[in-house]
Amino acid sequence: MTSLPTRTYTPESPLAHPAKLWREMKQDLWAGRELAWRLAVRDISAQYRQSVLGVLWALINPLMTTAVGCS
C-alpha cells in the first residue's frame, strides 16, 4: 500500500520561493488532469443530452396534443 505524501504548512509565504511555487503548481495541474478531463466530458455530454431532449420534447408535445384532440 502506498502512503500519501505529508504536507507541512508554515507561515512562510510561498512567494518567497517562486521557482518552488511554480514547480508545485505544475505538479498539481498534472496530477489533476484526469479529473479535469472527466468533468469536462461529463459537462459537455450533459449539455448535448439536454439539447437533444429539448428538441424531441418540442416535437413530441404538439404531436401528442394533436393525437389527443383527434380522438
User: 51 pLDDT band (50/70/90 cuts)?
Assistant: confident
> How many Å apart are CA 17 and CA 24, to the nearest integer?
11
> How many Å apart are CA 47 and CA 28, to the nearest integer?
28
pLDDT in tens, 15-33: 889 999 999 999 999 999 9
Q: Choose between 36 and 61: higher pLDDT.
A: 36
> How many Å apart are CA 22 and CA 56, to the nearest integer?
49
Helix (H) or strand (E) holding 17: none
> How many Å apart are CA 51 and CA 63, to the nearest integer?
19
